[in-house]
């Protein structure tokens, strides 16, 4: 299998375990015993809030199309690279799958990479192959040039790619070269939430709180014996205590659905007392809500997208705008800048061409606000009908390039003359 085919296969397969997000050492220090596989993305995504945040952000990026614009004339330009970005980046995946994989890797591992496969004669880009972040190690030499050491996922052999052959998308970074994933930055919150979740699971696996206790003034120390006086032993050879014997006998008679509501007969001074400690008394629900808010804060995802917090149409609408402007827009800007620099030729960049990502797809939910905005922009002459159609992915119409302007507004210096003419009078 070739390197390219191997990376395509890895890109199609589930994400491999990470070691740079939540490490085994960190978990061990916190008192958790986990394997290397659980120490990364698999471990964190067992929390519904983490999994949903990753899905929301990666899905948002996956549905945004790319176009090329001349920043001088503001006209759209058709280039061959747009076919790769919007139709088929490589033989193994659709554009949405590629973008979703890249953003998931950037969020969880801090780094996402596109391997740029070029024609050896024309240098035109032929394929874009996303490489999982754990297979790539950026290296800066003494001259300041950046190279990328890529590991073959099957043979373990490493090969080096130069900067122009890689599109590198980073998370939060301290050195400008390597990114830090959200899972690593939020590791303590995630570990606390997982510990709470595991405690909750253990609570219900063992039937929740004990239903009651058996009390007696008798001495229950010692071991249970049979009729001959010999100590009772289990299959493994361990002795059976009097408390174990009493508990097992009680559960044999009263535990299980078939023994529900059976009459209990207590002897030997036994007294049964019910225990009423609720799960809510342990503040599980409240602590889970706090954890969800913390996780959403790390990812920059509004709570309503996680089905949490107060649900109000007006506030959710505003939160959706804040999500696009505050969370999604900075991510989109990084993708635009990296792809413009790596995927366009230097003369194209010098002439003013830029790759842009259309974020209107993320704002299509509110039809009333969108239509009002289009109407206002058309009436002041900023948009034509065809401009609006393009934003809505609709075809152009004949005469749709004409822009309109209202005659109801004139410069203040001409207002007096216009007023006199309309009234048919003469200036005083």
Q: Tell me: the pLDDT tens digits for 286-312? A: 677 888 899 999 999 999 898 887 766
Mean pLDDT of all residues in 361-375: 73
Is residue 195, in this structure, part of any structural domain at all? no
Examine the domain organization and report whether 108 and 156 are in the same domain.
yes
Tokens matching residue 423: 């009234």
What pLDDT was estimated at residue 426? 59
Tokens matching residue 386: 């065809």
What pLDDT was estimated at residue 279? 53
Instruction: Using pLDDT thresholds of 50, 70 and 90, give the confidence band for residue 272.
Output: low
Examine the domain organization and report whether 133 and 260 are in the same domain.
no
What pLDDT was estimated at residue 421? 77
Q: At what angle do helices 95-109 and 48-62 cross, to 10 degrees?
A: 140
Examine the domain organization and report whether 378 and 342 are in the same domain.
no
Residues 316 and 323: beta-carbon distance below 8 Å:
no
What pLDDT was estimated at residue 14? 41
- How does pLDDT run across 20-34, given as a tens digit for each residue? 344 444 444 444 444
Type and span of the H or E element at 243: helix 242-254
Q: What is the C-alpha to C-alpha distance for residues 43 and 91, in angstroms, rounded to an integer?
A: 31
What is the CA 394 to chain-centroid distance, rounded? Answer: 30
Is residue 271, in this structure, part of any structural domain at all? yes
Instruction: Using pLDDT thresholds of 50, 70 and 90, give the confidence band for residue 38.
Output: very low
Q: Would you say residue 40 has pLDDT above 70?
A: yes
What pLDDT was estimated at residue 22? 45
Q: Would you say residue 229 has pLDDT above 90?
A: no
What pLDDT was estimated at residue 268? 66
Using the 8-state DSSP alphabet, how is residue 172 labeled? Answer: E
Domain around 24: 3-190+285-350
Examine the domain organization and report whether 161 and 23 are in the same domain.
yes
Examine the domain organization and report whether 235 and 125 are in the same domain.
no
Instruction: Using pLDDT thresholds of 50, 70 and 90, give the confidence band for residue 233.
Output: confident
Is residue 200, in this structure, part of any structural domain at all? no
Mean pLDDT of all residues in 124-146: 91
Apex 17 CA angle, 16 and 18, nearest 5: 115
Apex 413 CA angle, 412 and 419, nearest 5: 75
Tell me the helix, strand and coil percentages in the chain, rounded to 5. Answer: 45, 15, 40
Instruction: Using pLDDT thresholds of 50, 70 and 90, give the confidence band for residue 214.
Output: low
Examine the domain organization and report whether 120 and 177 are in the same domain.
yes
Neighbours of 138 (CB within 10 A): 18
Of the two residues 360 and 135, the one the predictor is more confident about is: 135
Q: How many alpha carbons lie under 13 Å from residue 221 in its C-beta half-sphere?
A: 1
What pLDDT was estimated at residue 392? 75
Determine which of 86-95, 116-125, 221-230, 354-363 has the lowest per-residue pLDDT on average.
221-230
Q: Which of 276, 308, 328 is the last residue of a domain?
A: 276
What pLDDT was estimated at residue 207? 58
* Ramachandran angles phi, psi of 110, nearest 5°: 90, -15
Q: Would you say residue 210 has pLDDT above 70?
A: no
Q: Would you say residue 182 has pLDDT above 60?
A: yes
């Amino acid at each position: 299998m070739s390197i390219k085919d191997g990376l395509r296969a890895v890109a199609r397969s589930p994400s491999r375990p990470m070691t740079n997000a939540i490490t085994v050492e960190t978990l061990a220090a916190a008192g958790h015993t986990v394997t290397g596989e659980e120490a990364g993305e698999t471990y964190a995504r067992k929390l519904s809030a983490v999994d949903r945040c990753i899905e929301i952000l990666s899905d948002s990026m996956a549905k945004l199309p790319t176009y090329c614009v001349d920043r001088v004339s503001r006209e759209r330009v058709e280039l061959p690279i747009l076919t790769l970005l919007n139709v088929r980046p490589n033989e193994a995946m659709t554009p949405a799958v590629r973008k979703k994989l890249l953003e998931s890797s950037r969020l969880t591992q801090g780094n996402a990479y596109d391997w740029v496969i070029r024609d050896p004669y024309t240098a035109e880009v032929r394929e874009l192959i996303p490489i999982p972040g754990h297979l790539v190690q950026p290296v800066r030499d003494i001259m300041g040039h950046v190279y990328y050491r890529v590991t073959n996922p099957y043979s373990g052999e490493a090969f080096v790619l130069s900067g122009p052959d890689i599109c590198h998308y980073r998370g939060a970074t301290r050195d400008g070269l390597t990114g830090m994933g959200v899972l690593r930055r939020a590791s303590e919150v995630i570990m606390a939430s997982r510990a709470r979740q595991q405690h909750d699971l253990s609570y219900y696996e063992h039937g929740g709180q004990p239903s009651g206790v058996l009390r007696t003034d008798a001495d229950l120390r010692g071991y249970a014996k049979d009729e001959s006086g010999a100590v009772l032993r289990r299959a493994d050879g361990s002795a059976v205590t009097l408390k174990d014997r009493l508990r097992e006998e009680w559960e044999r008679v009263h535990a299980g659905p078939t023994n529900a509501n059976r009459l209990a007969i207590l002897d030997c001074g036994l007294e049964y007392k019910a225990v009423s400690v609720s799960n809510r008394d342990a503040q599980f629900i409240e602590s889970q809500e706090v954890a969800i808010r913390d996780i959403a804060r790390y990812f920059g995802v509004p709570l309503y997208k996680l089905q949490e917090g107060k649900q109000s149409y007006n506030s959710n609408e505003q939160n959706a705008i804040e999500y696009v402007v505050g969370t999604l827009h900075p991510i989109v800007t990084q993708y635009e800048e990296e792809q413009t620099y790596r995927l366009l030729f230097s003369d194209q960049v010098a002439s003013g061409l830029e790759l842009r990502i259309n974020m209107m797809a993320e704002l299509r939910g509110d039809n009333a606000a969108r239509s009002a905005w289009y109407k206002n922009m058309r009436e002041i002459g900023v948009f034509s009908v065809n401009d609006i159609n393009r934003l809505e992915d609709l075809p152009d119409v004949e005469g749709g390039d004409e822009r309109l302007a209202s005659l109801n507004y004139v410069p203040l210096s001409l207002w007096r003359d216009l007023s006199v003419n309309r009234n048919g009078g003469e200036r005083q």
